[in-house]
Homo-oligomer: A and B are copies of this chain.
Amino acid sequence: MEAGLFTANNLWMMVCTALVFFMHLGFSFLEIGLTRQKNTVNILFKNVFIITVGLLIYYIGGFNLMYPGDFNGYVGFGGFGLPAPVTPEGALDLTYNEGYTYWTDFLFQGMFAATAATIVSGAVAERIKLGSFMIFTVLYVGLVYPIVGSWQWGGGFLSSLAYGEAEGFYDFAGSTLVHSVGGWGALIAIYLLGARIGKFGEDGKPKAIPGHNLPLTAAGVLILWLGWFGFNGGSVLSADPALTSLVLVTTSLAAAAGGVSAFLMSAALYKNYDLTMFLNGILGGLVGITAGADLMSPNEAVMIGLLAGIIIVLGVALIDKLKLDDPVGAVAVHLICGIWGTLAVGLFGDKAGLDQFLVQLAGVGAAAVFCSVFGFLILFVLKKTIGLRVSEQEELQGLDIHEHGMDAYADFRMNQH
């Protein structure tokens, strides 16, 4: 292989790694913007914890749990740490992969890993105990995410789940393996946690608890869109010009279409121009295209995005109806649109067909069962031991003062909610 091509491939993967890392700022901004100022330090702390501890855990064991080499297809482990493949001379073996080095592989995948817990972080905001969340993060990033990932990207049973014309489950960049995995954790967690005080009135009707910093929310979504250039673009696993550029086009068109249809749908239903719905529609489009970003034509990407935007508006209403409290809309965005995107591979694009659709459904189901069961077990044990939820007083006064002894905006007077 010519040196320039390998260098360019690896370079692209490093750029994408940087972009996926940057998504953690996007998630942080999104989450703090949509919640109240009194819990801002707590949310930032959780997000910083996730990216640092998540990366270390993935380094210690997660990477080799997700890519165990030859294994039974369900769970395997390649050993602790990063035993780099080396040439007889002791240098890094550059024939490890056509698209990137071993180090790049680890870091790109490591940036993905922390995302699963970040998705949960937003949903449980403003009421979860920090200690419980930290334990949950360690277990979810360290075990649940890599095991599910190994089923497909590690060469496990989902990747070879043939049925009729379908040659295996397909999830290009993780509508299921990343977003739904995080989404199931979020759903279980908000079910076990219960709603924030004041979210549902005495009549049981949901009450909006407005976010305290919408500029940061909007910035978060634009940063996430930017980061998705790396999330999806890097999932090509090389800088292949035709494929990477197609992926950026389908990703961006789906994002745009998702935003526009969510905006129009919410304007039609609720008669106002809702910025947060517009923004969540963009995220829904992004999650929706993720499973098949490399398989779709631009027209199909727009269709997937338009439907994702509608799903978002209905999904957010559904969560409310179920008396669940998801401050940032994480379940609608990551779980519901993650499922939508995974199934869309069977409906649109190069692999569309009933057999593929059924295989996609099977993959969705496998992730659902595993993540729900393990997520429930972890969170249920935490609830029965150290407890999941802060005290009523702490929730009312804010987690920032109680858990961190500091105020996110020390110089400004706040309204008390």
Contacts and interface: CB of A to CB of B under 8 A. Distances in A.
A291 interface: no
B52 A256 contact: yes
Contact of A299 (B81, B92, B298): B81
A406 to B, nearest CB: 6
A393 interface: no
A123 B52 CA distance: 26
B413 A223 contact: no
Interface of A: 2-12, 14-15, 17-19, 21-22, 24-25, 28-29, 32, 36-38, 40-41, 44-45, 47-49, 51-53, 55-56, 59, 81-82, 91-92, 94, 100-104, 106-107, 110, 130, 210-216, 218-219, 221-223, 225-226, 229, 233, 239-242, 244-246, 248-249, 252-253, 255-257, 259-260, 263, 272-276, 278-279, 282, 298-299, 302, 403-415, 417
Q: Interface SS of chain A: helix, strand, loop or mixed?
A: helix
Contact of A2 (B4, B259, B417): B4
A81 B241 CA distance: 21
Given A8-B8, A28-B222, 10 more contacts: A2-B4, A5-B7, A8-B11, A11-B11, A28-B215, A40-B215, A91-B242, A94-B241, A107-B248, A272-B403
Given A7-B241, A210-B407, A412-B37, A219 B52 contact: no
Given A14-B248, A25-B219, A413 B410 contact: no
Nearest to A40: B215
A49 B277 CA distance: 12
22 contacts: A3-B4, A4-B5, A10-B245, A17-B248, A28-B215, A37-B412, A48-B282, A52-B282, A53-B256, A56-B257, A59-B302, A101-B241, A102-B245, A104-B245, A107-B245, A210-B406, A212-B410, A272-B403, A272-B404, A272-B405, A273-B403, A412-B413
A25 B55 CA distance: 24
A154 to B, nearest CB: 20
A215 B408 contact: yes
A228 B52 CA distance: 15
A275 B92 contact: no
Contacts of A210: 406-407, 410
Contacts of A44: 214-215, 218, 275
Contacts of A29: 215, 219
Given A107-B248, A248-B107, A409 B298 contact: no
Q: Shortest 3 CB-CB distances between A and B: which pairs?
A: A4-B4, A103-B245, A210-B410
Given A5-B4, A242-B94, A272-B404, A249 B107 contact: yes
B94 A212 contact: no
A30 to B, nearest CB: 12
Contacts of A272: 403-405
Contact of A48 (B45, B94, B275): B275
Contact of A41 (B8, B41, B214): B214
A222 B214 CA distance: 20
Contacts of A253: 55-56, 59
A198 B242 CA distance: 54
Contacts of A40: 214-215
A239 B3 CA distance: 11
Contacts of A28: 215, 218-219, 222
A260 B56 contact: yes
A242 B103 contact: yes
Given A81-B299, A245-B107, A252-B55, A214 B406 contact: yes
Nearest to A417: B411
A412 B410 contact: no
A217 to B, nearest CB: 8
Which of A45, A81, A210, A409 has the most CB atoms of chain B within a 10 A radius of its CB? A409
Nearest to A272: B405
